[in-house]
Structure 1
Amino acid sequence: MATLHILSHSPFADSRLASCLRLLGADDGLLLTGDAVYALQPDTTGLQALQLMPASVALHALEEDLAARGMQPPERVQVVDYPGFVELCTRYAKVNSWL
């Protein structure tokens, strides 16, 4: 059963990103929101870990959070707005927020 995993906490503050990546299934998706978009910064362990994910795992980031932090996402990241966020939640059988 495909799951959308939503992360909102900085990858530098705790181990949620690493824990989430260990549990990702081949058909799952990952949406980075809030401070979790910092995982997309160049030359970080967060980005290196994300780049090692299988290509079948969809990687998304919330447009407003990237813009608020002045960040440009890597090529693999699919940027979504709030309506896109809602659509993602309906696309997957389950949604797991890493609170």
Structure 2
Amino acid sequence: MATLHIIAHALWSDDRLDSCLRILGAKDALLLCGEAVSGLRPGSETALQLRAAQLQGRLFALQEDLYARAISQDYAKGLDYPGFVELSLYYDKVNSWL
């Protein structure tokens, strides 16, 4: 079963991202929202970590949160809220990393 993993907390504040990446299956996806999108700032340690995880086509970010933090990046696919809902329906399970 494919799972959509959602992280909304700051990626540098704890080890949620590390834990998530360890269990991420080949068909799973990761959605960053809220403060987690700050991890996509070009050149940041977390952005490098996400690129190294080779999540092309499986890494998403809420566009509204990217705009709010003035983050311009080209690695994660930006989604609006309807796109987020559509994405969540595509996967068998949705796991929020609280």
TM-score, normalised via structure 2 length: 0.93
- Relative to 1, partners in 2 of residues 1:40 and 1:56: Cα closer, same or farther, differing over 3 Å? closer
State the shift of 1:54 in Å. Answer: 3.0
Is the 1:27–1:56 contact (alpha carbons within 8 Å) kept by the matching residues of 2? no
Aligned match of 2:90: 91
Where structure 2 has 5 or more consecutive residues not aligned to the other structure, the ranges are none
State the shift of 1:13 in Å. Answer: 1.1
SS state at 2:14 partner: coil
Kindly indicate whether residue 79 of structure 2 is the aligned counterpart of residue 77 of structure 1: no
CA deviations on 1:27-81 (whole Å, 9 max, x unpaired) are: 11100000000110122221111101234660000011001111112x2211000
Aligned match of 1:26: 26
C-alpha separation between the residues in 1 aligned to 2:97 and 2:80? 20
The share of aligned pairs that are identical, in percent, is: 51
Is the 2:32–2:60 contact (alpha carbons within 8 Å) kept by the matching residues of 1? yes
- Relative to 1, partners in 2 of residues 1:77 and 1:69: Cα closer, same or farther, differing over 3 Å? same
Where structure 1 has 5 or more consecutive residues not aligned to the other structure, the ranges are none
Number of aligned residue pairs: give it: 98
